């Protein structure tokens, strides 16, 4: 049974009354970076799936190393099952790498190319799984417009056991639900908020004292590092533009082939910014299909975009590539994990929302250490890239740290319900909340930092793992 706060078609947080306070300025991951409704934020995400790499598990702190080894291992064990659910290949192992012949020059420069998989738009909004289950015997019941606002439980043999939850409708109706196990899958901010609520209701004694619930909020910091010169653009568009394999878009990513213990993990990729009207039309059509809304395109705009739309279609269907005009501007961008620190956090504030819940306070900032890490990652990556020679020449671009907008966050919030076996961890390796018997967390909040990949593929691998374990437990108790 899925208890979902939002309506059938997801809306933004401010439309449903899920506010936050931001003492350090807005954190966009908690504003425009999340949706509420069936399908959640997948109604508007980018659909890029990529596994964390073995190098993610190379850490200078033994607790982090253990947590990351486990995360990488879960990806290896359950990645194929996730790929099967989506009907896509190439998410794990050798299949997620470009052909050996294309990789050689990059390897010689200590760059490790991988291919991320862009899900087809019709599969991006995970609401399709709910719709499919209603037609099969999967027996998934979804209750929408039901904000889970209260948790009732008691101490059993020294641990806390949830007995029921109470959900509220927008008109204030109450629904009580009892289950054997409860899984918090409410996104990083709301999952952390709910755990803080449960802990506060139990006078702070539900989680062990040392568990660092809500601390260490971090994200990928996304920034452009270099622009390709005129001479390199044609080759970049020809060799490194996204391609399609069995209707999935594949994007080149470059991760660190060798890594220092204390370096921040990142992935680099190439962006092709364009103002082309055909692109705008195609993007709006596809994104409206994903969000299950009507496209907002005027006839004039559609007409103006039609020539380039036909080129996009030709490249997509015949050449199996994304149409990128040879010679068009292209840039190198890095998405770098932010070092977790206690001052970036999520906690309960003193104000209450319309559901009688304390509004979360989200403190997030980019500090001098982050800026130093960004400069270091740029330098290190461009050194490797320069070894590719003049054909791929790219010129460093200025990093504007004084920009008024915090334009760096990539909507990949992690860290506030960290997984691990150490005293500071919030959930154990099986994702059970420490100090509880039947409460689990399924959220990117369990990842200690953002690592070298977008998080959702790995989250799905954990979902597979959890479905298996909870399913087996339920079967054996019958
Ligand atoms: C623009 C954008 C692009 C992105 N691109 C990518 C990408 O390319 N690749 C990638 O891996 N990741 C990407 N992400 C991140 C990705 O969307 C998230 O990692 C993913 O959606 C997280 O899933 P989730 O289930 O944890 O949270 P969500 O998808 O946010 O779902 C949480 C659900 O919980 C519900 N909920 C919350 N509180 C309650 C409550 N109290 N009671 C009942 N229900 C509640 C919400 O309504 C929501 O439906 C992107 C995000 C954005 C915004």
Instruction: Report which DSSP code applies to 218.
Output: B
Quick: pLDDT tens for 228-263.
999 899 999 999 999 998 878 999 999 987 888 788
Q: Which atom of ligand 1 is nearest to the CA of 412?
A: 15
Smallest CA-to-CA distance from 352 within 240, 467, 197 is with 197
Ligand 1, atom 24, residue with closest C-alpha: 187
Distances (CA, A) of 452 to 367, 406, 440: 20, 21, 25
CB 71 within 8 A of CB 177: no
Answer whether 412 contacts ligand 1 (Cβ < 6 A).
yes
349 pLDDT tier (thresholds 50, 70, 90) = very high
Quick: pLDDT tens for 179-200.
999 999 999 999 999 999 999 9
C-alpha dihedral, 121 to 124 to 130 to 132, nearest 10°: 40
Distance from Cα 125 to the centre of ligand 1, integer Å? 10
Q: Which helix (H) or strand (E) holds 314?
A: helix 306-314
Distance from Cα 478 to the centre of ligand 1, integer Å? 33
Distance from Cα 458 to the centre of ligand 1, integer Å? 13
Quick: pLDDT tens for 396-415.
998 888 764 555 668 999 99
Distance from Cα 189 to the centre of ligand 1, integer Å? 10
Domain topology for 1-47+124-219+343-362+407-447? FAD/NAD(P)-binding domain (3.50.50)
Smallest CA-to-CA distance from 333 within 420, 410, 235 is with 410
- pLDDT > 70: percent of the chain: 97
Q: Which atom of ligand 1 is nearest to the CA of 33?
A: 53
Quick: pLDDT tens for 48-92.
999 999 989 999 999 999 999 999 999 999 999 999 999 887 777
Ligand 1, atom 46, residue with closest C-alpha: 36
3-state secondary structure 421-477: CCCCCCECCCCEECCECCEEECCHHHCCCCCCCCCHHHHHHHHHHHHHHHHHHHHHH
User: Given this model, what pLDDT does residue 99 score?
Assistant: 86
57 Cβ neighbours under 8 A, 6+ residues apart: 65, 68, 69, 71, 72
Q: Which atom of ligand 1 is nearest to the CA of 35?
A: 30
User: Given this model, what pLDDT does residue 69 score?
Assistant: 97
Answer whether 166 contacts ligand 1 (Cβ < 6 A).
no
Quick: pLDDT tens for 279-328.
899 999 999 999 999 999 888 888 888 999 999 999 999 999 999 888 88
Q: Average pLDDT for residues 388-400, to the nearest whole number?
A: 91
Q: Is the model's pLDDT at 390 over the cut of 60?
A: yes
Distance from Cα 455 to the centre of ligand 1, integer Å? 11
Answer whether 33 contacts ligand 1 (Cβ < 6 A).
yes
Ligand 1, atom 27, residue with closest C-alpha: 187
Domains of the chain, by residue range, sit at 1-47+124-219+343-362+407-447
User: Given this model, what pLDDT does residue 407 score?
Assistant: 59
Distance from Cα 456 to the centre of ligand 1, integer Å? 9
User: Given this model, what pLDDT does residue 404 score?
Assistant: 46
């Amino acid at each position: 049974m899925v208890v979902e706060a939002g309506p059938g078609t997801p809306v933004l947080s401010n439309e449903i009354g899920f506010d936050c306070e931001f003492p350090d300025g807005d954190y966009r991951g908690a504003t425009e970076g999340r949706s509420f409704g069936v399908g959640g934020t997948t109604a508007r995400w980018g659909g890029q799936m990529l596994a964390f790499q073995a190098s993610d598990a190379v850490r200078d702190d033994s607790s982090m190393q253990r947590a990351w080894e486990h995360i990488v291992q879960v990806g290896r064990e359950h990645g194929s099952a996730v790929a099967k659910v989506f009907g896509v290949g190439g998410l794990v192992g050798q299949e997620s790498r470009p052909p050996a012949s294309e990789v050689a020059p990059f390897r010689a420069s200590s760059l490790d190319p991988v291919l991320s998989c862009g899900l087809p738009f019709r599969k991006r909004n995970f609401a399709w799984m709910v719709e499919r289950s209603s037609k099969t015997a999967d027996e998934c019941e979804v209750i929408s417009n039901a904000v889970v606002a209260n948790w009732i439980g008691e101490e059993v043999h020294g641990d806390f056991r949830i007995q029921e939850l109470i959900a509220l409708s927008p008109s204030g109706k109450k629904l009580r639900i009892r289950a054997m196990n409860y899984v918090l899958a409410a996104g990083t901010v709301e999952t952390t908020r709910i755990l803080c609520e449960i802990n506060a209701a139990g006078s702070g004694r539900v989680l062990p004292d040392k568990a660092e619930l809500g601390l260490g909020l971090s994200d990928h910091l996304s920034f452009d590092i270099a622009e390709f010169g005129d001479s390199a653009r044609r080759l970049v568009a020809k060799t490194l533009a996204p391609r399609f394999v069995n209707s999935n878009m594949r994007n080149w990513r470059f991760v660190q082939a060798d890594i220092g213990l204390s370096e921040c993990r990142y992935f680099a990729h190439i962006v092709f910014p364009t103002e082309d009207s055909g692109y705008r039309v195609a993007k709006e059509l596809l994104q409206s299909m994903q969000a299950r809304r009507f496209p907002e395109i005027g006839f004039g705009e559609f007409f103006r975009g039609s020539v380039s739309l036909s080129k996009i279609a030709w490249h997509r269907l015949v050449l199996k590539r994304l149409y990128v005009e040879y010679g068009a501007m292209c840039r190198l961008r890095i998405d770098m994990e932010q070092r977790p620190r206690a001052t970036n956090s999520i906690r309960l504030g003193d104000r209450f929302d319309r559901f009688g819940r304390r509004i979360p306070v989200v403190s997030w900032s980019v500090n001098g250490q982050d800026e130093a890490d960004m400069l270091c990652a740029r330098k290190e990556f461009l050194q490797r890239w320069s070894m590719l020679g003049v054909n791929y020449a790219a010129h460093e671009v200025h990093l504007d740290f004084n920009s008024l907008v915090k334009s760096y966050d990539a909507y990949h919030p992690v860290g506030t319900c960290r997984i691990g076996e150490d005293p500071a961890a919030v959930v154990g390796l099986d994702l059970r909340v420490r100090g509880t018997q039947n409460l689990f967390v399924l959220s990117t909040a369990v990842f200690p930092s953002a690592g070298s990949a977008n998080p959702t593929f790995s989250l799905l691998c954990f979902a597979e793992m959890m479905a298996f374990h909870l399913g087996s437990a339920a079967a054996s108790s019958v």
